[in-house]
């Protein structure tokens, strides 16, 4: 009986030590490391089998396309291969710039769209799940436009419109990235 009472105590001490270590290490991380941790947590909520997130280099043509030039595009991979893409970009509303994260599946349908940074008071309701959930399931053939298939948030009409444009541009960007990857892969696979 004495051995059984020691095990839970030992387990609790180990759990407390692990918690303290996690708190300490998160306090000493840089802002970019914390951002990466948040990104991984967000990705794993939608793609629980994700084992790798690799940032892709966006070529000059994609940057010159008028699509979000400041976008960070990452491939999300699991054991079975490509699970989807994660795109983080800065968009600008009347209140000022804010950052969004859009997760899409390999067929470029939105799995999740979220506001990851919105420092302004005006228009802040675009952060609400009631608004961002409207983007889920939207794809290349959807207008993704306020007044058509997206309802704006009261008091955040311009931010709602800008967010819809950001999600629509993200889908176009991923399609362009996929097209360029397919083209470069087909060229690299050719025998000369």
- pLDDT for 6: 47
Q: Could you tell me if residue 138 is inside a domain?
A: yes
- pLDDT for 45: 94
Task: Summarize pLDDT for 112-138 with one digit per residue, the tens.
Answer: 999 999 999 999 999 999 999 999 999
Q: Could you tell me if residue 60 is inside a domain?
A: yes
- The domain of 81 spans 47-188
Q: Could you tell me if residue 83 is inside a domain?
A: yes
Q: Could you tell me if residue 17 is inside a domain?
A: no
Q: Could you tell me if residue 24 is inside a domain?
A: no
DSSP result, the chain: -HHHHHHHHHHHHHHHHHHHHHHHHHHHS-HHHHHHHHHHHHHHHH-TT--EEEEEPPPHHHHTTTS-TT-EEEEEEETTEEEEEEEEEEEE-SS-EEEEEEEE-TT--EEEEEEEE---STTGGGGSHHHHGGGTT--TTS---BTTTBPPPTT-HHHHHHHHHHHHHHHHHHHHHHHHHHHHHHHHT---
Q: Could you tell me if residue 63 is inside a domain?
A: yes
- pLDDT grade for 4, boundaries at 50, 70 and 90: very low
pTM of the model as a whole: 0.77
Q: Could you tell me if residue 31 is inside a domain?
A: no
Instruction: State how many domains the chain has.
Output: 1
Q: Could you tell me if residue 7 is inside a domain?
A: no
């Amino acid at each position: 009986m004495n051995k059984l009472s020691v095990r839970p105590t030992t387990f609790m001490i180990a759990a407390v030590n692990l918690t303290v270590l996690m708190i300490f290490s998160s306090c000493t991380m840089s802002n970019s490391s914390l951002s990466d941790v948040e990104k991984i947590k967000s990705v794993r909520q939608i793609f629980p089998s994700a084992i790798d997130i690799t940032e892709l280099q966006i070529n000059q043509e994609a940057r010159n396309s008028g699509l979000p030039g400041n976008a960070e595009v990452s491939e999300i991979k699991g054991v079975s291969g490509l699970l989807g893409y994660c795109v983080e970009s800065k968009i600008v509303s009347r209140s000022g710039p804010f950052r969004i994260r859009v997760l899409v599946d390999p067929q470029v349908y939105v799995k999740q769209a979220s506001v990851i940074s919105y420092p302004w008071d005006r228009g802040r309701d675009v952060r609400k799940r009631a608004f961002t959930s409207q983007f889920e399931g939207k794809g290349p053939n959807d207008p993704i436009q306020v007044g058509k298939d997206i309802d704006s948030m009261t008091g955040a009409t311009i931010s709602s419109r800008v967010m819809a444009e950001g999600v629509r541009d993200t889908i176009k960007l991923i399609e362009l990235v996929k097209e360029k990857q397919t083209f470069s892969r087909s060229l690299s696979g050719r025998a000369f």
